Structure 1
């Protein structure tokens, strides 16, 4: 059984009836201000007619209006809570104020995890996020090969020669200068990659297992494709009409099947000469699907089986407030530096009936039972205890797996349980987030999502080691 975490990083209140809704004027919930300078925090609200506002710091009320104006006379990190009440309920937000002596620019430019590769003779526009660009004296320079190529907030890169180039961003204001180097590799064509994922981070095999007439859902991972087209085949036979990235394969009889996915870039045909046409780039990946000669009922609960979980297989949290947090709330020791140590820690926490934080989006834990759990239809088959606070309840996503191949490992087919938000227009499926290792200690963790958004998970000195 796999539990993964999910939380909204914008409005984190649940819209039910006429409850208040808070939208902060900072996307990350972090505000930076100079010492002895006034900071104004002015959220926007919904459903706040006749509402009560309460801004508190360390439990002390500092404002009862819809906005907060405050000046700090010392440097440090301060945490502010905002609560809005009306007759229908309440909404809460916690935000961070960083009070600094100086506020030089902070440059953020999210890059692909595999490095930035661009096709020659093609425009690529760089638009970094720069904090404190509103401070007096702000200016920016883009430098290539020792020459200033732009003084605008954006820069368009285009290079005809193959090779690796360095673009330097210099941003400055009255408080200081910040420099960031960006490595750009210019290539003839993108190094397209198509591959099938393993069932979880620590598993190594991509083989898939199922029973006769139970489907498996195959979806390849892609790198560098902009306009992919898909063709699926089973044992060499093309599956007509299967042109989506997700392929539902339902074997009808036991045996081994080879499923292939060929992905091509949907670009216009290019002429090399009057007599030669260049075809589309295509990459193929294969996966083995094993249909076992058993029935799913074979693993159902036998007499003497426990009704509780009996093993933690993996614990891989994403960055978050309570990850690597050694206070009483987080409960970590600082020694959870390997997969084995993390599993041992999570196992003891659950045995002690204490919570295990999954961190931000994508963090997960896999726990198992000593038997399979049948699906009884509309009845409850098992329960997961989680955070009961409205808007911060975990786990957000639950997947289940049966040990079909009988090896005692979580390496079979995962199925996501339909949640309360499934099928809604605002619900995003197949969402992905990539986190980037900080360049040094005590730094925020940058992230970029599959839909192009980016941000960071805060380093909180009050919590993190």
Structure 2
């Protein structure tokens, strides 16, 4: 940071020279004509060289030097935001049904627009609304088209919707096809219902053919195992529509223990942090660790720090016992002959500081997931990679969604300085924090299949921060329908604002895990996601290295230090370099009409390539 201060001082010195020069030029005019732009000056015409010319060239030299030095500061490594304006609606098809005489209100969500101006025009080009929201009603049947127009300083966008006005609108109902829960656990079921604007429609929930509720949302719980059929019928004066789903209930909480991988490879001399996933403990719980069958007397917690004494394989086991039962799990630890220095990949003349390979892209459902259309996980990675190369947004969706990237070289750990940066689009009231993880390619196979180390942030040691938290998402039966979720803490909910299911995720459900921060989503006169102090991507923390509140939601970087890496027990880990970076959405929250809190990334930057190691 001393070097950065020196650069800033040098920059201020050059700016002062500019002021002196301009004063001199103003008071001693001649026939030189020039214009100045950022850190450069171009002379268009000169009749003769004067003393001022010499001063000008001297100043130009200072400015060039200043530009050269400034290229090494973290702030000036920031790239301009090239993300296109995005417009989305609460109906993915863009087709709305409305009964005659009723009113429909449509409010789109606009992102990446700088100083936007909005209007709605009909199919004749007549402006029918001058703001963000369209309110429409008609006494006669027909098909009506409207175009939403955004004109901003950084471009424009046009999106069309269709409104079908009908004399009769029979309700349509959509539910998740299937969900799972355990005995005594509550599930909140939120349906997707269209009634053509009829707010008087009646709801009837039936559980195994027995009427149980008339509310718009249903909370389910069962006292015994089994498969239950839940049916919702919605009726109005024009008719009724219905949908049903299965809820499978298993026995109450059952202790489970597992390791994320069956084998872990570790470099010679390094300590590996073993953190199994332990679920559903009841009452007093004990932990017994053993290595190759030998009990470790002083190891009685949920995490084991293990340093192999020599290269080779060893088996580490954990037995967990609670008030009801015992469960055990094992993992193989392969200590390699190689050292940390053996795996280092230096940057070359062809290396890039901002081009990355995407190795994994597994977002949670969310309103912007449809921006990446793919049929396989490999296609999704390549499309995400293309978007990052163009500094376009890649949304990670709701909690747990993540992306894993790597440069074509190792990123060095420069002591007490920032080593890499991640671009997001946070601004004062929009902070969607991403947990950052780093990894060395310890086994040297070029893949992110070694040990992840989370980077410490401002929330790391706070009691409300949860580790190994998980959320299971359930596929909806129709595009745009609410997406149900259930978490590892027996809480349930739904994503309701234009949620998209990843097109390449073919299973009926999937689970994402990671570190969860306590949400800072608040509502006063409008929704706001408040910032965290430091240590997270897509967040207005102090590690943005700027005081700007980014009112136009442009791309901006958070900077990170490898020296903040920590083990699963949150002890510091010394890494000379890293090879892979993972960003994981770290909050499970929704902000009303704004939808789910979803970390967004625009790019990655190696800050060390133009810097000499200390």
Q: What TM-score, normalized to structure 2?
A: 0.48
Tell me whether 1:357 sits opposite 2:394 in the alignment. yes
Query: What is the correspondence of 1:76-115 to structure 2 with a 5 Å cutoff?
Result: 102=169, 104=171, 106=173, 112=179, 115=180
Alignment partner of 1:408 is 2:475: no
Structure 1 residue 142 corresponds to structure 2 residue 206: yes
Offset at residue 294 of structure 1 (A)? 3.8
Equivalent residues in 2 for 1:10-409, closer than 5 Å: 36-38=101-103, 56-57=118-119, 70-73=135-138, 102=169, 104=171, 106=173, 112=179, 115-116=180-181, 118-119=182-183, 127-130=188-191, 135-144=199-208, 147-151=209-213, 153=215, 158=222, 163-174=226-237, 176-185=239-248, 193-198=256-261, 206-220=263-277, 222=279, 229=285, 231-235=287-291, 236-238=294-296, 240=298, 242-244=300-302, 247-251=303-307, 253-255=309-311, 256-264=313-321, 266=323, 280-302=324-346, 304=348, 307-308=351-352, 309=355, 311-325=357-371, 334=373, 336-350=374-388, 352-355=389-392, 357-361=394-398, 362-387=400-425, 396-409=434-447
Residues of 2 paired with 1:425 and 1:37: CA distance? 50
Residues 65-110 of structure 1, C-alpha deviation per residue, up to 9 Å, x if partnerless?
xx989444477899899xxxxxxxxxxxxxxx99786483746579
Gap regions ≥5 residues in structure 1 = 1-28, 43-53, 82-96, 199-204, 267-279, 461-465
Q: Give the Å deviation of 1:291.
A: 3.4
Deviations 1:25-67 (A, max 9, x none): xxxx95999555457899xxxxxxxxxxx99555989689xx9
Q: Aligned-pair distance for 1:241?
A: 6.2
**TM-superposed deviation, 1:174:** 4.0
Task: Kindly indicate whether the alpha-carbon contact (under 8 Å) linking 1:448 and 1:454 is maintained by their aligned counterparts in 2.
Answer: yes
Measure, in 2, the Cα distance between the counterparts of 1:78 and 1:260: 62
Please say if residues 263 and 333 of structure 2, whose CA atoms lie closer than 8 Å, have aligned partners that are also in contact: no
Residue 473 of structure 2: which of 423, 435, 441 is its match?
435
Q: Is the 8 A contact 2:441 2:447 kept in 1?
A: yes
| Larger helix percent | 2
* Cα distance in 1, alignment partners of residues 387 and 213 from structure 2: 54
Residues 295-351 of structure 1: CA distance to partner in whole angstroms, max 9, x if unpaired? 3233335473755356332233444444443xxxx6xxx5x312232333344445x
Using the alignment, how far apart are the partners of 2:347 and 2:203 within structure 1? Answer: 73
How far is the alpha carbon of 1:379 from its aligned partner? 0.5
- The alpha-carbon distance between structure 1 residues 225 and 379, as it changes in their structure 2 partners (threshold 3 A), is same
Q: Answer whether contact 1:103 1:175 (CA < 8 A) is retained.
A: yes
Measure how far apart 1:414 and its partner are. Answer: 0.7
After TM superposition, give the deviation of residue 140 of structure 1 in Å.
Answer: 1.4
Note closer, same or farther for the CA distance 1:380–1:226 as it changes in structure 2 (3 Å cut): same
Q: Is the 8 A contact 1:166 1:181 kept in 2?
A: yes
Match of 1:11 in 2: none
TM-score for both structures, normalised by structure 1: 0.60
* In the alignment, structure 1 residue 444 sits paired with structure 2 residue 501: no
What is the aligned length? 367
SS in 1 for 2:341: helix
Q: In structure 2, what is the Cα distance between the partners aligned to 1:370 and 1:207?
A: 24
Q: Distance in 2 between matches of 1:80 and 1:431?
A: 42
Question: Compared with structure 1, are the counterparts of its residues 206 and 292 closer, same or farther at alpha carbon in structure 2 (3 Å cutoff)?
Answer: closer
Q: Deviations over 1:212-267 (max 9, x none)?
A: 35342413164x667694524131415546344xx14231633444332334454x
Cα separation, 2, equivalents of 1:164 and 1:109: 15
SS in structure 2 at match of 1:383: strand
Name the structure 2 match of 1:13.
Answer: none
For residue 244 of structure 2, give the secondary structure of its aligned residue in structure 1. strand
**Paired residues of 1:386 and 1:394 also in contact (CA < 8 A):** no
Distance 2:177 2:146 in 1: 25
Partner SS, residue 492 of structure 2: coil
Aligned to 1:9: none
| Residues 75 and 100, structure 1, Cα contact 8 Å, conserved in 2 | yes
Return closer, same or farther for 1:359/1:459 CA change in 2, 3 Å cut-off.
same
CA pair 40-166 structure 1, distance change in 2 beyond 3 A? closer
User: 1:209, 1:404 within 8 Å by CA — same for their partners in 2?
Assistant: yes
2-side partners of 1:420 and 1:72: how far apart? 50
Give secondary structure in 2 for the equivalent of 1:403: coil
Contact 1:310–1:369 (Cα < 8 Å) also in 2 = yes
Structure 2 unmatched runs, 5+: 1-88, 108-115, 122-126, 151-160, 501-614
Distance 1:207 1:176, change over 3 A: farther
Deviation at 1:371, TM superposition (A): 3.7
